[in-house]
Amino acid sequence: MAVAPVEVAAPHPQDVFRAVTAPAAVAPAPGRSAPPHSATARHHFLFVRRFLPPALALLLAALLLAAAHQARPSPFGDHITVHARVDGDARPSLRTAKDAVEAYDEATGRPRWSYAREGHRPLAVVPARGDAIALWDDGLVTDTAPGGNAVRWHRALPGAAPWLGTQGGSGVLRPLGARMLAVVTPQRITAYRLADGDLRWVLPARRGCEFVPTRAVRHGRALLIAQPCPDDGGTDDWTAEIIAVDDLGRIAPDRTPLGNERHTAERPKAEKTVARPR
């Protein structure tokens, strides 16, 4: 029997070298798998990605609003300058300058504080309870604390600016004792509580009559104010042309006293009143 020759190709030496030196694939150990990404880390990443931009936007908006609040001007144009702080109960003297209310030490003449309003000038200032009550050319009444470090309250007089521009503020501010301030204009007398500027009562002038702020005098606790009536038909009754008021309102035999104290548990009904013209 004839045997056919068989050729056996020997492997190339480089192939043998590669097969010996090539690293074998490392199979994972039984029971172990490649560690997946942590679920907690993914949750934190998604949370930061979702909520961080809105949070930064809100923070930026809050910072902008705070800056705008600090930068916005006072609605009344107030500018207070404290020149010297004084300890104790020494009350300064007051005066009106061209464009400001000034408090100064009467003994030395040194300024303590000044209070100005943009675009306006003070017409009159009176001391009351240690505060400085000022009347301005636009019909605004202000109360400045004794140390000049704050303006306690602002109150506007309706329709008073044109009249003040021609007549001035002489006699308009009339303190009624230690608790109340009367503001006298031709049309009405308005009373404010000094502690907080609360409106307590209003007394309109009689029809055809006008109050005269410069014609007023104190008599005890009463303030007597002239109320001439040119249209009274020639009646010569001077007693009808004088009005007497105090901190409770118009003085009359049958009046009901007003509660002019602050609202407290003991005084829950501190009501305001508008008096009828007489």
Q: Parse the chain into domains and list their residue ranges.
A: 72-170
pLDDT of residue 277: 47
pLDDT of residue 243: 93
Q: What is the rounded distance in angstroms from the CA atom of residue 82 to the CA atom of residue 93?
A: 15
Q: How many residues does the chain have?
A: 278
What's 130's DSSP letter?
A: T
Q: CATH number of the domain at 72-170, out of 2.40.10.480, 1.10.3720.10, 1.10.490.10, 3.40.50.10320?
A: 2.40.10.480
pLDDT of residue 125: 97
Give 206-247 pLDDT, tens digit per residue.
988 999 999 999 999 999 999 998 876 655 666 778 999 999
Kindly report each contact of residues 229-232 with a partner whose C-beta sits within 8 Å and lies 24 or more positions away, as own/partner.
232/208
CA separation (Å) from 168 to 21, 26, 65?
Answer: 111, 103, 41
pTM of the model: 0.66
pLDDT of residue 107: 83
Q: Which residue type occupies 127?
A: P
pLDDT of residue 16: 43
pLDDT of residue 38: 65
Q: By three-state DSSP, how is residue 40 classified? A: helix
pLDDT < 70 positions in the chain:
1-39, 41-52, 55, 64-74, 87-89, 232-238, 257-278
Q: Per-residue DSSP letters for 225-278?
A: EE---TTSTT---GGGGEEEEETTEE--TTPPPP--SPP-SS------EEPPP-
pLDDT of residue 45: 63
Tokens 């600016």 correspond to 161
pLDDT of residue 106: 84
pLDDT of residue 37: 53
pLDDT of residue 116: 96
